[in-house]
Structure formats: structure tokens, C-alpha cells
Amino acid sequence: MNKLSLKTFTLLQTVTSVGLSALAWMVTGVRPIWNGSLPSDRQRIYFANHTSHGDFILLSACLSEKERAITHAVAAGEYWGKSRLRRFIAQDMLSSVLINRQWTKPEENPIEIMLSVLDQGHSLILFPEGTRNMTEEPLLAFRSGLYNLSMARPEVELIPCWIENMSRVLPKGQFLPVPLLCRVVFGAPVAVGPGEERRAFLERAHATLLALNPRPERDD
């Protein structure tokens, strides 16, 4: 890629980021609530509940422009890599990190792919349920990725984020958003404790995220 193409590519990503953030604010009036953490330039993994393809856009809209530029959502390669158009949207326009959940080759190892992004000094948006939650449960059990990343890069801050109402704004199978007020609640950082086992940490992180739900009596 020559310098001109690189500049054009970077401009496309910037325009897309700003445009989607503006759209998120217009459609949802998204209000970030910092409950135990504050906006920061520190390298982070934001982990959140997942009910809609628009979740990461809403979360990203709550970050500063500087943070958005180095924060990448982790997305399923099986879906977003299914066609050239989807891959272009996910990787080239949205700067997402695509991983294959049913990987077979060493170079497809999701943890190694995510670690390579962290090693560039960038941050991640991770959905530890591993898939969109289409059930009646408010939050599915966490998969082990969050624990593995934290163990490998303990200096990276883990920030729980509860995304409210996005499943109603952009329901499954819909492409036009429904105007509805949304909130993103950012909680206090969590970390793997000394000698803490994987299951215990994942259950604690799960409970921490679930406790951020501002309306626990409702399905989000």
C-alpha cells in the first residue's frame, strides 16, 4: 500500500468512526455512566454484554476520538468474514479484529490474534459471552478468553461495560435502527487475583458485569 492509499484508507476509517459515533448519539442519545472508572488513555479491554451487532458502535461512541482510534472490537470471523463486503465493512471500515471460534490452524488462534493487537498498544472491545445473547437470560456464561488475555497481559486494565437497550434499537435481522434512549455503564476495573482459578474469575467478572445493569428487572 503506497502512502496515498494509506492516507485514503486512514481517512476512510476516521470518517467512518466519527460518522457512526454521531449516528449513535443521534439515534440513541447514548449516555455514558462512569461508575467506578473514568475515561483514560490507559490500554484497556472493555468487556460487555452482547445482544446486537450495534453494541460495539454504542460503546465506542462513549470513548474519546483518540481512544476510538486505537480501540478495536473483536468480532466473529464466521459471520463478518463470510463475504468480501462484510469483511471490508468489519476490518477496513470499522477496524474490527476478526477471530474464528472454530479455528484449526495455529495462526488462527484467537488469543494470539488478540494478543498481537494488545502488543501494538491498542485496546479491545470484547464480548465474553462469545455470541449474541438471544435468550431470556440477561447474561450468558463467559468463555475463557477474558481470563486468558488477563493472565497473558495483566497490565491491561479490564473494564466491565453494561450496554442498555441496544437489542431494541437494532434487533436481530434489522438494518434500520429504532430511536430509543440508551446508556452504557462503565464499572470499576477487575483483575485476576493471586492464585485465582479460571472458573472463579469468570464467575466474578460475570457477576460484576451483571451488577451494572441499571434495570435488572428488564431484558436488555
Q: What is the pLDDT of residue 76?
A: 86
Write out pLDDT tens, residues 143-170: 999 999 999 999 999 999 999 876 676 6
pLDDT at 11 over 70: no
Cα-Cα-Cα-Cα dihedral sign, residues 101, 168, 207, 72: positive
pLDDT at 6: 46
Q: Tell me if 97 sits within 8 A of 117, measured CB to CB.
A: yes
Residues near 23 by Cβ (< 8 Å), separated by ≥ 6? 57, 177
Prediction pTM value = 0.85
Residue 216 pLDDT greater than 90, yes or no: no
Q: Residue 120: is it exposed, middle or buried by C-beta count within 10 angstroms (0-12/13-18/19+)? A: exposed
Strands (E) across the chain are located at: 31-34, 44-48, 71-76, 97-99, 123-126, 157-164, 183-186
pLDDT digits (tens, 9 = 90+) for 43-96: 999 999 998 877 888 899 999 989 998 999 999 888 777 788 888 877 877 789
Q: CATH for 19-212? A: 3.40.1130.10
Q: What is the pLDDT of residues 89-127, one digit of tens each?
A: 778 777 899 998 888 888 889 999 999 999 999 999 999
Boundaries of every domain in the chain: 19-212
Tell me which amino acid residue 213 is: N
The answer to whether the beta carbons of residues 111 and 94 sit under 8 Å apart is: no
Q: Which residues are within 8 A (CB) of 177 and not within 5 positions of it... i.e. 6 or more apart?
A: 23, 27, 28, 54, 169, 170
Per-residue pLDDT tens over the stretch 15-54: 666 666 676 667 777 889 999 999 999 999 999 999 887 7
| CA distances (Å), origin 129, targets 29, 83, 100, 162 | 26, 24, 15, 13
